Amino acid sequence: MNKLKILAIEDEVKIANLTKKVLEKENYHVDLAHNGKDGLKMALENGYDLILLDVMIPEINGIDVCKILRNKQNQTPIIMLTARDTIEDRLSAMDAGANDYISKPFAFDDLIMRIKALFGSSINSEEEHLAEINKRVMDNVPVSIITIDKEGNVTSANKYYKNLTKKEDFTKTNVLSGEFFIREKLVADYRKLLTDGTPVKKDRCYEKNTEGKRKYLKILAVPLFDKNGLIDGAVSMAQDNTESVLFKRKLQKLNESLEKKIAGRTVQLDNANKELAKMLKWKSMFMADISHEMRTSLAIIQGNAELVSRGLVEGNEKDEAHEQVFGEIKRMSTMLSDLTLISSEEASMHKLNYEKIDVNQFIATLCKSLSVMAHEKKVEMIHENSDSDLEIVADPKQLEKMLMNLLKNAIKYNKKNGKVWVWSQEKENEIVFNVKDSGIGIALENIPHIFERFYRVDKARTRDDGSSGLGLAICKWVARTHGGKIDVSSQLGEGSLFTVSLPKKQKTKKQKMLDI
Ligand code: ADP
């Protein structure tokens, strides 16, 4: 379609230039004249499609220019422009033969609309007009649209196609060439479309534009038919879905990592729950054991107290009853102090206070503090110093409690004029503590149970000396919290050997929850 030629006769240079600029943007060709005389000459000589004619112009005014043109049988459409807007002005403009009239200041949109109204039907054919509208619609939709002929050649493309593909020139491109789409599969689809009219529909088609940027396209291509209903080509539309595809992917990844985290946490929670359930079970069993022990002691105290108060026992029997009462009271108080220790140990389980300990010196001090008890029981204590200076990192309070229990038992369960040996040695990364006695020993069948709380081999004997029944359970707990272990070997009637192996150094201060 040829460009419309417009002559603007306007003496105000700035307005004239502005008018030219705006109209040229609208694809019109614009010439300027700045007075009536020049304008008239140009209009007669060059033959324009439209004249924009200012009324107040030098040399010959606009009304006269218009009259002269009409007198010379020139029928070029004229739009009069004037700063005055009176009915007389309009009438005289129309009288002179102008087609339209617009008063200054005017909006260029208004001027363009009037030009289009004037030429819409007279200059463009109906078909051209429609084609123009189609082109505008095609260029403004946010979808890349191309038309292709029967052979797959691209015959037209809208602006969006050029933006998307970064290809300025669509000629010489063919959708069946194998280079048009990265996916070979689509070539087959398009061939089918052009052969039997099957539409191409793809929701997520991966492509790269000429700049190498990856794109995800939603593609729809349908056939075009000629007048006889035969396939004449196709129209293919592609919508850029890249952002939403990438966003969905990110979301999916996020979901997956969240699910993994949740699964991990669930396992942790499950383990914590199991640990808790174990602790609760242990607590209730522990309470039942304590309650049983306390009740037994109370029953003995109550029974003996009744005997004495009712006057049922006299002399030696009365003394024995008193002794039993005091024995049980002593036992209960030992048990209470052991229980206090356990509960405070439990509370401070996560903060054992490790210190570097000189092993020989440590054992020597314990032996000294037990010398009175050993003397009373007529047992000799022998501390065999190790050759080298041994050191261990441990909680001194716990270590003392453990060794004291072992040494006390070695004295308690000994024979008259018996012996207790205590010594330590280094084995790889461990310090091994040994407590040996020449006492009564432990029968094989009892050995697996002696580290259980409140387990006693000889119930009557241990009640008498006020033992709590928790001693070895505490020893085992201390050994384990330090990352070590306790073992026993014994011969009934010969004596026992308790060995405790503890790591020389503690790796971490955090302790695992362990039952006593
Ligand atoms: P108790 O307070 O009764 O001594 P322990 O837990 O210290 O409790 O010991 C549990 C049981 O193991 C004791 O009742 C005793 O029968 C047995 N036992 C512990 N140490 C020795 C030992 N050195 N020789 C013989 N038997 C022992």
DSSP character for 153? B
Q: What angle do CA 240, 242, 248 make, to 5 degrees?
A: 135
- pLDDT tens digits, one per residue of 395-418: 998 899 999 999 999 999 999 999
Q: What angle do CA 403, 404, 407 make, to 5 degrees?
A: 85
Ligand 1 pocket, residue 335 CB under 6 Å: no
Of the two residues 26 and 479, the one the predictor is more confident about is 479
Specify the pTM. Answer: 0.49
Give the per-residue pLDDT at 169: 77
pLDDT at 346 over 60: no
Residue with CA closest to ligand 1 atom 12: 450
DSSP character for 4? P
* CB-based burial label for 231 (10 Å; 0-12, 13-18, 19+): middle
Give the per-residue pLDDT at 393: 95
Given a contact cutoff of 8 angstroms between Cβ atoms, the answer to whether 423 and 403 are in contact is no
pLDDT at 473 over 80: yes
pLDDT at 102 over 70: yes
Q: Which atom of ligand 1 is nearest to the CA of 458?
A: 16
Beta bridge partners of 148: 154, 234
CA distances from 40 to 5, 13, 45, 86 (A): 15, 17, 9, 25
* Measured distance CA(242)–CA(249) in Å, rounded: 11
* Measured distance CA(69)–CA(36) in Å, rounded: 11
What amino acid is encoded at 23 in this protein? L
Residue with CA closest to ligand 1 atom 23: 410
The confidence band for 121, taking pLDDT boundaries of 50, 70 and 90, is very low
Name the one residue in this structure whose structure tokens are 């056939």: 223
* Measured distance CA(472)–CA(406) in Å, rounded: 8
Mean pLDDT of the 463-484 span? 84
Structure tokens belonging to residue 282? 């242990």
* Measured distance CA(360)–CA(182) in Å, rounded: 81
Residue with CA closest to ligand 1 atom 21: 409
Interval between CA 150 and ligand 1 midpoint (Å): 102
Ligand 1 pocket, residue 414 CB under 6 Å: no
Mean pLDDT of the 375-386 span? 92
* Measured distance CA(362)–CA(402) in Å, rounded: 12
* Measured distance CA(109)–CA(17) in Å, rounded: 16
Give the per-residue pLDDT at 392: 95
Pocket test for ligand 1, best of 297, 373, 409 (most atoms within 8 A of CB): 409
Q: What angle do CA 56, 58, 60 make, to 5 degrees?
A: 90
Ligand 1 pocket, residue 457 CB under 6 Å: yes
Ligand 1 pocket, residue 438 CB under 6 Å: no
Mean pLDDT of the 129-138 span? 68
- pLDDT tens digits, one per residue of 232-265: 999 999 888 888 888 888 999 999 999 999 999 9
pLDDT at 83 over 80: no
Give the per-residue pLDDT at 122: 45
- pLDDT tens digits, one per residue of 2-27: 688 999 999 888 888 998 999 998 88
What amino acid is encoded at 66 in this protein? C
Among 160-169, 282-291, 334-343, 362-371, which range has the highest average pLDDT?
A: 362-371
SS (H, E, C) 344-383: HHHHCCCCCCCEEEEHHHHHHHHHHHCHHHHHHCCCEEEE
Ligand 1 pocket, residue 104 CB under 6 Å: no
Give the per-residue pLDDT at 60: 92
Give the per-residue pLDDT at 485: 96
Beta bridge partners of 391: 358
Pocket test for ligand 1, best of 337, 373, 413 (most atoms within 8 A of CB): 413
Give the per-residue pLDDT at 129: 60
Share of the chain above pLDDT 90, in %: 46
Average per-residue pLDDT in the chain?
A: 86
Give the per-residue pLDDT at 154: 92
* Measured distance CA(17)–CA(13) in Å, rounded: 6
Q: Which atom of ligand 1 is nearest to the CA of 414?
A: 24
Mean pLDDT of the 343-352 span? 58
Of the two residues 477 and 509, the one the predictor is more confident about is 477
Give the per-residue pLDDT at 499: 98
Give the per-residue pLDDT at 256: 94
pLDDT at 479 over 90: yes
Chain-centroid distance of CA 22 in Å reads: 55
Ligand 1 pocket, residue 418 CB under 6 Å: no
Of the two residues 477 and 84, the one the predictor is more confident about is 477
- pLDDT tens digits, one per residue of 25-69: 888 999 999 999 999 999 999 889 999 999 888 999 999 999 999
